[in-house]
């Protein structure tokens, strides 16, 4: 009997880490890596930074070349979308017709029975219903998204423009959503010479992720660089014919902000859920403020890519619900942005959309899946023996970073959802700061702006294990004093 494969759904950083870990931990059976994009696995953080700016070419984002993937002996299915999973039989339904006309896609469907499945499908960019069909309104999640935006920013943001590179001057760029992605894109667009307006429901950029005081410091830097910051909710878009004949899609000319508040039930970004960036659509029957725009980026957060998981055995509320071992069901594991798992130290389910977590969780899911398969081996009919592994809870210290202009923002632990924040601005002119984040009397996160690596390591140690708030605060102060004493 032919051995059933382990399938990794998602040719992402998490998916690649899982595939490599499966081989490293000794899986000798068939291994299938499935990705709905046509590209080899690539790194996403540079999409809104170096790639968008034009400093890097797409090849530099590849996590592995085809030659580097060859030793894994993968059944690599790029341009293939998973459309269903039967949990009881561990059977995937696949559509290899991504990019094929709909009428032909039925011929591409197949099923794949698996020994185990690791789901690493990540998240998808949120959009606004009122933006559908409007030229010049974009989202940023994939390599193709970033390349399209880069081309528009490089040529001035409008078809036929002489553009920045040709000396044609910058264009009017409106970025809807003032979370991490929106702030990074605003920094890039401003550095490229465009007129940039950054819009968010929250008055302070990145407030949900970093708190009000650190967010205010970042707002100062954006204003100093010439970014216009606006608070409001998107009510719609103004458009003009995209060509003189008035045919085809309308081209965006302005973003319309609601003249009064939008009911919470209508908001796209909401309630502190992971992935929300703070922008709503709808509301305001009377026209509100118009922000002229040649190019609009919707950076309003993301939604976990779980719509294809309809089996009632799975909980897909805010991602794929997993236990502390990253298991969503027997033989079914998840990793990366899509996974919401029980963090052993924090005592509640968490979901992180951060690059380092993707790699670490991919490896953890692979190890724990192999441990489960090894326990099943005596009753299994498949021929390839599964190497023994120790099943371990996944308990990382979360880490994220953001680059904006010359600023490096880095954080360990949990910064969102804190009920207590103590921020210290060390140098306002240089935008250097540190902040401690607490929840239920314990320190759970720490953030630094513009601090050296040695000091960052000391700050990480403060939140690596739970500490009482007062003790953690004293350790942060000691670390800062030590860092200031060092030449």
What is the average pLDDT value for the chain, to the nearest integer? 87
In contact, 483 and 476? CB cutoff 8 Å: no
Taking the C-alpha atoms of residue 13 and residue 42, their distance in angstroms, rounded to an integer, is: 7
The 3-class secondary structure across 29-44, one letter per residue, is CCEEEEECCCCCCECC
Answer whether residue 332 shows pLDDT above 90.
yes
Answer whether residue 164 shows pLDDT above 90.
no
Please tell me the predicted confidence (pLDDT) of residue 259.
Answer: 72
The answer to which of 65-69, 164-168, 248-252, 471-475 has the lowest mean pLDDT is 164-168
In contact, 15 and 6? CB cutoff 8 Å: no
Answer whether residue 380 shows pLDDT above 50.
no
* Helical (H) or strand (E) element with 291: strand 290-292
Taking the C-alpha atoms of residue 396 and residue 253, their distance in angstroms, rounded to an integer, is: 45
The answer to which of 87-96, 100-109, 111-120, 178-187 has the lowest mean pLDDT is 100-109
Distances (CA, A) of 472 to 49, 459, 476: 33, 9, 6
Q: 480 is written with which tokens?
A: 């800062």
> From the CB of residue 272, how many other CB atoms can be counted at a distance below 10 Å?
9
The 3-class secondary structure across 385-428, one letter per residue, is CCCCCCCCCCCCCCEEEEEECCEEEEEEECCCCCCEEEEEEEEC
Cross-strand bridge partners of residue 84: 93
Please tell me the predicted confidence (pLDDT) of residue 257.
Answer: 95
Residue in the block written with tokens 């999973």: 85
The alpha-carbon radius of gyration of the chain (Å, integer) is 24
* Helical (H) or strand (E) element with 147: helix 143-154
Answer whether residue 383 shows pLDDT above 50.
no
Sorting pLDDT into bands at 50, 70 and 90, what band is 485?
Answer: very low
- Residue predicted with more confidence, 473 or 273: 473
User: Which pLDDT tens digit goes with each residue over 253-280?
Assistant: 999 999 754 433 343 333 333 333 334 4
Cross-strand bridge partners of residue 341: 322, 350
* Helical (H) or strand (E) element with 166: none
- Residue predicted with more confidence, 382 or 3: 3
Answer whether residue 374 shows pLDDT above 70.
yes
Please tell me the predicted confidence (pLDDT) of residue 166.
Answer: 40
Please tell me the predicted confidence (pLDDT) of residue 94.
Answer: 97
In contact, 41 and 151? CB cutoff 8 Å: no
- DSSP β-ladder status, 399-404 and 432-439: unpaired
Answer whether residue 247 shows pLDDT above 70.
no
**Phi, psi at 421, each rounded to 5°:** -135, 130
Answer whether residue 137 shows pLDDT above 90.
yes
Answer whether residue 168 shows pLDDT above 90.
no
DSSP string, 433-455: EEEEEEETTEEEEEEEES--HHH
Taking the C-alpha atoms of residue 14 and residue 390, their distance in angstroms, rounded to an integer, is: 20
* The 339-343 sheet, strands edge to edge: 320-322, 339-343, 348-350
Sorting pLDDT into bands at 50, 70 and 90, what band is 96?
Answer: confident
Q: Which of 262, 376, 276 is nearest to 318 (CA)?
A: 276
Q: Which of 337, 304, 336, 408 is nearest to 49 (CA)?
A: 408
């Amino acid at each position: 009997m032919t051995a059933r494969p382990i399938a990794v759904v998602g040719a992402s950083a998490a998916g690649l880490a899982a595939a490599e870990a499966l081989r490293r931990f000794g899986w000798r059976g068939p291994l299938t890596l499935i990705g709905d994009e046509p590209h080899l696995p690539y790194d996403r953080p540079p999409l809104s930074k170096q790639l968008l700016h034009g400093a890097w070419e797409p090849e530099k984002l590849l996590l592995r070349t085809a030659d580097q993937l060859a030793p894994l002996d993968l059944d690599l299915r790029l341009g293939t979308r998973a459309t269903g999973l039967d949990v009881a039989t561990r059977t995937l339904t696949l559509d290899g017709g991504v990019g094929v006309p709909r009428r032909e896609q039925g011929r591409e469907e197949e099923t794949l029975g698996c020994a185990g499945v690791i789901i690493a499908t990540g998240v998808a960019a949120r959009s606004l219903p009122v933006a559908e069909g409007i030229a010049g309104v974009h989202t940023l999640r994939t390599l193709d998204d970033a390349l399209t935006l880069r081309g528009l920013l490089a040529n001035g943001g409008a078809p036929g423009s002489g553009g920045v590179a040709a000396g044609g001057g910058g264009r009017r760029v409106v970025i809807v959503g003032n979370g991490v992605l929106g702030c990074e894109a605003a920094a890039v667009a401003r550095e490229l010479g465009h007129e940039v307006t950054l819009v968010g429901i929250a008055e302070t950029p990145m407030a949900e992720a970093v708190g009000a005081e650190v967010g205010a410091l970042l707002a100062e830097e954006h204003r100093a660089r010439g970014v216009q910051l606006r608070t409001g909710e998107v009510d719609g878009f103004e458009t003009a014919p995209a060509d003189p004949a008035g045919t085809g899609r309308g081209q965006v000319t302005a973003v319309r902000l609601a003249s009064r508040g939008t009911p919470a039930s209508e908001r796209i970004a909401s309630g502190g859920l992971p992935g929300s960036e703070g922008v709503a659509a709808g509301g305001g029957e009377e026209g509100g403020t118009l922000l002229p725009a040649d190019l609009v980026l919707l950076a309003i957060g993301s939604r976990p890519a779980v719509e294809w998981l309809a089996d009632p055995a799975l909980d897909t509320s805010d991602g794929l619900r997993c236990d502390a071992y990253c298991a969503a069901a027997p033989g079914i594991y998840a990793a990366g942005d899509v996974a919401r798992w029980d963090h052993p130290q924090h005592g509640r389910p968490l979901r992180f959309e951060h690059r380092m977590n993707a790699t670490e969780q991919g490896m953890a899911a692979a190890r724990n899946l192999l441990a489960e398969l090894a326990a099943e081996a005596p009753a299994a009919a498949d021929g390839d023996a599964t190497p023994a592994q120790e099943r371990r809870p996944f308990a990382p210290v979360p880490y994220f970073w953001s680059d904006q202009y010359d600023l490096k923002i880095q954080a360990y632990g949990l910064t969102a959802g804190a009920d207590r924040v103590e921020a210290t601005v060390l140098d306002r002119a240089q935008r250097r700061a540190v902040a401690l984040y607490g929840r239920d009397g314990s320190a759970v996160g720490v953030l630094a702006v513009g601090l050296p690596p040695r000091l960052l390591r000391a700050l990480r140690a403060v939140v690596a294990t739970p500490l009482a708030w007062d003790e953690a605060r004293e350790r942060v102060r000691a670390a800062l004093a030590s860092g200031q004493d060092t030449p």
